[in-house]
Structure 1
Amino acid sequence: MQHQTKEMNDTGKKNQNDNYIIINPSMEEFDGNNIDLKNLPLVSFCIPTKNNEDTIEACLESIKAQNYPNTEIIIIDGNSTDKTISIAQKYSDKIVYDAGTYGSACQTGLESSSGEIIASLDSDIIIPHSNWLIHAVPYFNYCNRVSSVWPLYVAPPNATGFARLYQTHLYMIFMNNRISKNIGYFGGGNTLFLRKSLEDIGGINRDIHWGADFEWAKRLKDLGYKVVFISDPLYHDTMRTFYQFFKKQFVGANTFVDSRFGLMGLSTYEILYEHLILGTKGMIKGLLIDRDYCWLYYPFLVASRFFAYGYIYLKKLRL
């Protein structure tokens, strides 16, 4: 992972003057005053949930372990039927209910929170060390047009081989490509936001489920806001198995086929290039040089994603 993080850093150095994304800036470059570092602002952790008993406790424990002095935890639950609520009650400051789309839950969280900074996290995110938040918040002062502090995501140390492939290796490869070409939208989900920037774009679209985070990231970019990327990672404990990944492809396909990947800010060509060229190169390197056999899953990952998107596309053609 250290080698891949260095690649991300090197890519960022070439684009440090870019008007959208800034990668790991040094404190000497800061000239903004979005936040008062002598009186640290309230950070509201807004976490949508629905039947997440397997992951929510680790997420909330990692938030409670932060050395940051001023936080609140807002749970936005979609009518869970498992132990999610009973777990959340041990850690959260407020539980509200919204059984609508992901975008609707995020907007409900925004409206229910009080923080100057909004930490929009999924319930399967784990903050790996107690100083993460207090190190991340000062990056809002890079300049006064920063809306978001966007961290690297990696699979947790105990992740399955498939999770490491999808959440660490492919994520690094695809993000390096998008950052180097200045394509796509960044700093959507699992990111820190200034509340005022989300209010500037009129809040979060309640009508969008899959891809809502890309949509609000696009509107932030369109208003000229900047994203600061930091390589201090969050653990994303998701897509543990190929079966979980396969099921989710059909949900995402409905949204992204309709928009022809417009919500992601990518062309169909770029999607194919990432999967067929960059991913294949990564697989060859991973198997022959790194001897990381999680890459054996890659042909199945690509085939299943293309099958799901092709199936949904053909189904919509017949309607």
Structure 2
Amino acid sequence: MNDERPLVSVVIPTKNSAATIETCLKSIKEQTYPDIEVVVVDKFSTDETAEVAKDLGSMVIKSGVMRSKARNIGVEKARGELAFFVDSDMELTPRVVEKCVEKILNEKADAVIVPELSVGEGFWAGCMSLDKLMCIGDSLIEVARFLNRKAFEAVGGYDEELVAGEDWDLQTRIEKAGYKILRVNPVILHHVGDLSLKDILMKKTQYGKTIMTYVKKHPQKARKQLMVLRASYVRHWRVLMRNPLHALGLFVMRLIEYGVAGIGILSGESNACGRA
């Protein structure tokens, strides 16, 4: 690695995540790369999220904004040349930051994709884990979380009008601007806990209510991203065959997600019409 070590600012938007953020922050402290600061943008949590973050050395900013704006605020307050956007229920494997910095310094990358794996308990968490595994290497689904700050600011940061799909939108603008995007092998673990079908239904209904702004902005790309049968499933059919029960559950989950998200979309459009 280059002798000059740029400061990496890890930005974490969060609300009421005391149950998960400690694991996240400890995994950042255990990185092999030493020059890291953590900026937690807390949406006025009513649990001990802010206290846990402060105890582990993070800068905590209180703000009542949505995730996209929270990330932008985090970068504004950060000191680093490089920005790494992490969620509070994620855990970094030890060499993630080191390898991302190497891509920036040694291979002149502007943005770096870190593969994500889902971990949790129960059948539906297993289906989610299989889905994440299928998406590794899928250029339609994966996004760069680790960025050169100059590139991030040059494309305007996260679109603060988007509540869902904001990471896909940023990725699209980075690609269109011609920035160099590379990937690393170390992974991020996304902890989903004991996931139930009810949890999925509630989350996807809300997702459907908010995703239409993104769909209208990138209609052709969104159509492919939101398909029930993703191209990555076809490419990795052997993996699905080795996990038949979870594969079946995955397709059931995707069908239900698609239908429930559709209801959410219709509900969101209906509410918008009612306000007009």
TM-score, normalising length: structure 1: 0.74
The whole-number CA distance in structure 2 between the counterparts of 1:199 and 1:74 is 17
* Correspondence for 1:124: 89
SS in 2 for 1:238: strand
The whole-number CA distance in structure 2 between the counterparts of 1:149 and 1:73 is 18
RMSD of Structure 2 on Structure 1 (CA) = 2.8
Deviations 1:79-109 (A, max 9, x none): 1011211211111331102211111100010
The whole-number CA distance in structure 2 between the counterparts of 1:76 and 1:317 is 30
Structure 1 residue 307 displacement after superposition: 1.9
Q: Relative to 1, partners in 2 of residues 1:265 and 1:150: Cα closer, same or farther, differing over 3 Å?
A: farther
The whole-number CA distance in structure 2 between the counterparts of 1:278 and 1:261 is 24
Is the Cα–Cα contact under 8 Å of residues 118 and 132 in structure 2 kept in the other structure?
A: no
TM-score, normalising length: structure 2: 0.85
The whole-number CA distance in structure 2 between the counterparts of 1:94 and 1:267 is 35
* Correspondence for 1:202: 156
Is the Cα–Cα contact under 8 Å of residues 46 and 75 in structure 1 kept in the other structure?
A: yes
* Letter paired with 1:70: D
Residue 162 of structure 1 is aligned with which of 98, 118, 124?
Answer: 124
Pairing 1:145-224 to 2, within 5 Å after superposition: 146-156=109-119, 159-166=121-128, 168-176=129-137, 178-179=138-139, 184=140, 186-188=142-144, 191-224=145-178
* Correspondence for 1:300: 252
Structure 1 residue 170 displacement after superposition: 1.6
Pairing 1:50-199 to 2, within 5 Å after superposition: 50-129=15-94, 131-141=95-105, 143-144=107-108, 146-156=109-119, 159-166=121-128, 168-176=129-137, 178-179=138-139, 184=140, 186-188=142-144, 191-199=145-153
* Correspondence for 1:23: none
Pairing 1:203-282 to 2, within 5 Å after superposition: 203-238=157-192, 240-241=194-195, 242-260=197-215, 263=218, 266-268=221-223, 271-272=226-227, 274-275=229-230, 279=233
Structure 1 residue 312 displacement after superposition: 2.8
Q: Relative to 1, partners in 2 of residues 1:161 and 1:48: Cα closer, same or farther, differing over 3 Å?
A: same
Say whether 1:311 aligns with 2:267: no
The whole-number CA distance in structure 1 between the counterparts of 2:184 and 2:20 is 24
SS in 2 for 1:45: strand
* Letter paired with 1:308: V
* Correspondence for 1:32: none
Is the Cα–Cα contact under 8 Å of residues 25 and 56 in structure 2 kept in the other structure?
A: yes
Structure 1 residue 198 displacement after superposition: 1.0
Unaligned runs of 5+ in 1: 1-35
Structure 1 residue 45 displacement after superposition: 0.9
Is the Cα–Cα contact under 8 Å of residues 48 and 123 in structure 1 kept in the other structure?
A: yes
